[in-house]
Amino acid sequence: MGESVGASAGAHIRTEGEAGARGPGGGRWLVPVLAFGGISVAVMQTLIVPVVAQLPTLLDTSTSNASWVITSTLLSGAVATPIMGRLGDLYGKRRIVLLSLGLMVLGSLICAFTSALVPMVAGRAVQGFAMGAIPLGISIMRDELPPERLGSAMAFMSSSLGVGGALGMPLAAWIAQYTDWHVLFFGAAGIGVVAMVLVFLLVPESPLRTPGRFDVLGTLGLTAGLVTLLLPISKGGDWGWGSPAVLGLWGASALIFLAWGLLELRIKDPLVDLRTSVRRQVLLTNLASIMVGLAFYALTLVLPQILQLPAATGYGLGQSMVVSGLCVAPMGVAMMLVSSLSARLSQARGPKVSLMTGLVILAASYLLGTVLLSAVWQTVLLSVLIGVGIGIAYSAMPALILGAVDPSESGAANGLNTLMRSIGTSTSSAVVGVVLARMSSPLGAARVPNLDGFRTAFLIASGAALLGLLIASFLPSSATKRAPGAAAHGDLSDPHLVQRGGPSADDESHRAAVPR
């Protein structure tokens, strides 16, 4: 390990001249361009939501088969985030951002020109690889921005996933309701092309690279482990949670991850540095990220349904698909607006306090939501409150992660954190889906979730936020005291930090004590 740390430090030494030598992207356009890229990825991920119920008819297939249009993106996105992060560390972050966005455009065009199931699933899987652009964007900001700008920039970029999803839903609903549904994918391709052009023109390539080789065997192992873990989570409701397929895949996942972990600990240039990943600050932040992701997704599963259910149920609000999307959109606006507030809170009190504050707001909002489901204005208020909590919590995570890893590991570490959020949202989809299916009432020839089911889903989300709060409370005190700019970037005025390339003496002594 000492050898690789030395090489890494040598590769990441910044001189004062280099720190100031920024191209046009290092100025006013870097943050909005990268954030636009993140928002475009989020729009791609959620654009299919308004037509989920119509997919079996649109693709002339069964409901179970049509669900693969969602599952394929989930799986490929989960696999892509740590892999793209590592590729960015090795071969250039801007280059891999462009690759991620290019795959999104390719996948969107595949979907736009087909109405058959197999090409649609393949196109959505290709689209999922764009998820790597968000953690890579945060890593580029770390490399390019001065410490005083970094905190707010990372907060805004981190919230882009929720912003794009929330703002994209009403637009996607309008397109799906009034035009041909293929326009959704043509639109995603167009946004992706614009994002690629802006990144190419206005974002400089970082001079920081990690020496080493790409871990192909580790990539295959991680891919197999994630697929066998997440596939039964997303399909368990269809297959049966106690079915041999589900239990067998989970057993296989445990064995694969065990073998993969032993491999990663033994090789010189692992895909994921597990010694860094189990460091207290990184591990606890990632565990809290799972809880935030679990809580976040409950809102997007519950509110559209209760808004669109007919008033004849006694609790449905009878709104159109477009109105439903507009009621959820304020969540994205709130996330965007609080990102700068979160950055200031992290600067003053530390990102640990920001994360805990967001989780408190999130837990309280979901508890309040159990009694705020009887009017459209109440759903809008709930969207805003939960957006505030999610925005503050999401914005604190990059500072916590980057405050505990070397610049040589920033892309992979951010990718792993994004993966943890994806695991949370996947689990939320499965758990809430089971709750709403079990707690349902007849409506004509069909069964629909009842009010108790929606309230139970909110209670689960609140419980997840409280568990995340408990986890975050055990973060080291240094995470509270360290400002996000210094934590994520290093104080360039401190020659020891510059030469080391890492954020704290404790971290360096920890690495030196653990031989690879």
Residues 294-322: pLDDT tens digits? 898 888 888 888 888 888 888 889 888 78
Task: In whole angstroms, give the CA distance from residue 400 to residue 414.
Answer: 10
Task: In whole angstroms, give the CA distance from residue 501 to residue 498.
Answer: 5
Decide if 343 contacts 359 (C-beta within 8 A).
no
- The pLDDT score that the predictor gives to residue 185 is 93
- The pLDDT score that the predictor gives to residue 230 is 83
- The pLDDT score that the predictor gives to residue 334 is 87
* pLDDT classification of 64: cutoffs 50, 70, 90: confident
- The pLDDT score that the predictor gives to residue 479 is 58
Task: In whole angstroms, give the CA distance from residue 277 to residue 261.
Answer: 11
490 — alpha (psi -120 to 50), left (phi > 0) or beta?
Answer: left
What mean pLDDT do residues 136-156 have?
82
| Token couple for 490 | 């290093």
- The pLDDT score that the predictor gives to residue 471 is 96
- The pLDDT score that the predictor gives to residue 480 is 54
Q: What element of type H or E holds 410?
A: helix 410-438
- Does residue 499 carry a pLDDT above 50? no
* pLDDT classification of 125: cutoffs 50, 70, 90: very high
Q: Does domain 27-208 have CATH number 1.20.1250.20?
A: yes
Query: What does the buried/exposed string (b/e) look like for 148-161 if buried means 16 or more CB atoms within 10 Å of the residue's CB?
Result: ebbbbbbbbbbbbb
What mean pLDDT do residues 309-338 have?
85
Distance of CA 359 to the CA centre of its chain: 16
Q: Where are the domains of the chain?
A: 27-208, 216-268, 272-477
Decide if 472 contacts 355 (C-beta within 8 A).
yes
Q: Which residues contact 512 (CB under 8 A, 6 or more apart)?
A: 1, 2, 5
Query: What does the buried/exposed string (b/e) look like for 468-481 if buried means 16 or more CB atoms within 10 Å of the residue's CB?
Result: bbebbeebbebbbe
Q: Does domain 272-477 have CATH number 1.20.1250.20?
A: yes
- The pLDDT score that the predictor gives to residue 10 is 38
pTM for the structure as a whole: 0.76
- The pLDDT score that the predictor gives to residue 263 is 92
- The pLDDT score that the predictor gives to residue 408 is 67
CA 342 to each of CA 14, 154, 335, 339, 453: distance values in angstroms, whole numbers, following the listed order: 28, 10, 10, 5, 33
Tell me the one-letter amino acid at 271. Answer: L
What mean pLDDT do residues 423-429 have?
82
pLDDT-above-70 percentage for the chain:
86
What mean pLDDT do residues 5-17 have?
38
Task: In whole angstroms, give the CA distance from residue 303 to residue 327.
Answer: 8
Task: In whole angstroms, give the CA distance from residue 277 to residue 284.
Answer: 9
Q: Which residue has the higher pLDDT, 14 or 104?
A: 104
Eight-class DSSP state of 54: G
User: Which of these, 131, 143, 127, lies nearest to 96 by C-alpha position?
Assistant: 131
Q: Give the best-scoring range by mean pLDDT among 77-86, 150-159, 359-368.
A: 359-368
- The pLDDT score that the predictor gives to residue 486 is 43
CA 71 to each of CA 55, 67, 105, 235: distance values in angstroms, whole numbers, following the listed order: 13, 6, 19, 8
pLDDT-above-90 percentage for the chain:
30
| Token couple for 318 | 């009878």
Decide if 59 contacts 182 (C-beta within 8 A).
no
Decide if 322 contacts 149 (C-beta within 8 A).
no
- The pLDDT score that the predictor gives to residue 8 is 37
Q: Which residue has the higher pLDDT, 493 or 43?
A: 43
3-state DSSP: the chain helix, strand, coil percent, rounded to 5?
A: 80, 0, 20
Distance of CA 461 to the CA centre of its chain: 17
* pLDDT classification of 162: cutoffs 50, 70, 90: low
Per DSSP, the three-state class of 440 is strand
| Token couple for 166 | 């929330």
- The pLDDT score that the predictor gives to residue 47 is 82
Tell me the one-letter amino acid at 275. Answer: R
- The pLDDT score that the predictor gives to residue 333 is 82
